[in-house]
């Protein structure tokens, strides 16, 4: 459990929440994957891939999906175990001759990431590559979820691979039904309905703040032991909670957050508060 220090009402409760690295965490697993793919794809196949979607690009998208989909329950770092990779019809046709082998190697890559991150799957990871006619060439869309294993998966589990004890997905998701949200300065309420929420100026964030004072990737809010923790990602203009500079902090209902001067308020149960007002 994170250790917090006592604080008066209206101030931030500080916590030792260690943020997993967001850069470089997949170096070893990615390098192994690249080496295997190079050995698997040679000659004419490699020539066909030139200028098209590369397997390593898919791997990097998977790493991001794994990072965004992780949550903590029963003191374990749980990772998504069900992945659907959507690619364009043209890229799907190019991958077709070795698609099944690629799917197997991507699953092995996910297991390598899990080992490096210290995370666990609630069931053996599974992955499928499908075509999406709405995607342009070289675009990848990944859907990553926590999914209960089917009976066939339970029977096929390799005893040498470590997974968590049986844990229903419904229990993992319970903590995400708290109606917690951020209320922005324009009174918009944005639900915190994912284990990891990224905030920043870049369009790939979950909450995009179009303000020059905000860094491209400014902060993250993570669900940790059923509480929401705010992390500053070495932003240029810093992050404050209730006027105090923070690097990581457990959020409390009513905390006033400022990302480089862009203000918002954290509410642990905004909908209930509004109904009871």
List per-residue pLDDT tens for the chain, 277 residues long.
444 443 443 444 333 343 444 444 445 888 989 888 887 776 556 666 878 899 999 999 999 888 877 776 656 778 889 999 999 999 999 999 899 999 999 999 999 999 888 888 888 999 999 999 989 999 999 988 887 665 444 443 443 344 444 455 555 555 555 578 999 988 888 888 777 889 999 888 889 999 999 999 999 998 877 788 999 998 999 999 999 999 999 999 999 999 999 999 999 874 433 433 3
Looking at the structure, do residues 201 and 120 belong to the same domain, yes or no? no
End-to-end CA distance of the chain: 33
* Residue 6 included in any domain: no
Residue 209 located in a structural domain: yes
Q: How many C-beta neighbours within 10 Å does residue 271 have?
A: 14
The answer to whether position 227 is within a domain reads yes
Domain count, the chain: 2
Residue 182 lies in a domain: yes
Q: What CATH number is associated with residue 31? A: 3.30.2320.60
Query: What are the distances in angstroms from CA 52 to CA 63, 133, 222, 276?
Result: 20, 16, 35, 55
**Domain region containing 139:** 24-36+52-145
Tokens at 21, concatenated: 């690295």
> Residue 247 sits in a domain of what CATH number?
2.60.200.20
Q: Tell me, yes or no, whether 28 and 123 share the same domain.
A: yes
């Amino acid at each position: 459990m994170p250790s917090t220090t006592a604080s008066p009402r209206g101030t931030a409760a500080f916590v030792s929440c260690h943020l997993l690295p967001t850069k470089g965490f997949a170096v070893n697993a990615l390098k192994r994957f690249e080496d295997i793919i190079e050995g698997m794809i040679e000659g004419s196949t490699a020539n066909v891939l030139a200028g098209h979607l590369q397997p390593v690009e898919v791997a990097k998208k998977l790493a991001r999906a794994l990072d965004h989909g992780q949550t903590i329950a029963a003191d374990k770092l749980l990772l998504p175990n069900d992945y659907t990779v959507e690619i364009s019809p043209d890229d799907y046709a190019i991958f077709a001759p070795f698609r099944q082998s690629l799917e197997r190697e991507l699953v092995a890559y996910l297991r390598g990431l899990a080992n490096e991150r210290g995370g666990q799957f609630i069931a053996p990871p599974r992955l499928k590559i499908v075509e999406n006619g709405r995607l342009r060439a070289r675009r990848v869309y990944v859907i990553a979820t926590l999914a209960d294993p089917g009976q066939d998966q339970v029977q096929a589990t390799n005893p040498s691979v470590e997974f968590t004890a049986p844990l229903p997905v419904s229990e993992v998701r319970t903590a995400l039904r708290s109606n917690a949200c951020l209320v922005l300065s324009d009174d918009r309420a944005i639900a915190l309905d994912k284990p990891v929420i990224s905030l920043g100026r870049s369009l790939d964030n979950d909450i995009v703040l179009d303000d020059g004072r905000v860094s491209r990737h400014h902060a993250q809010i993570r669900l940790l032991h059923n509480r929401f923790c705010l992390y500053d990602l070495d932003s240029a203009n810093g992050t404050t909670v209730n006027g105090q500079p923070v690097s990581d902090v457990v959020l409390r209902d009513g905390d006033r957050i400022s990302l480089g001067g862009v203000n918002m308020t954290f509410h642990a149960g905004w909908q209930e508060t509004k109904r009871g007002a």
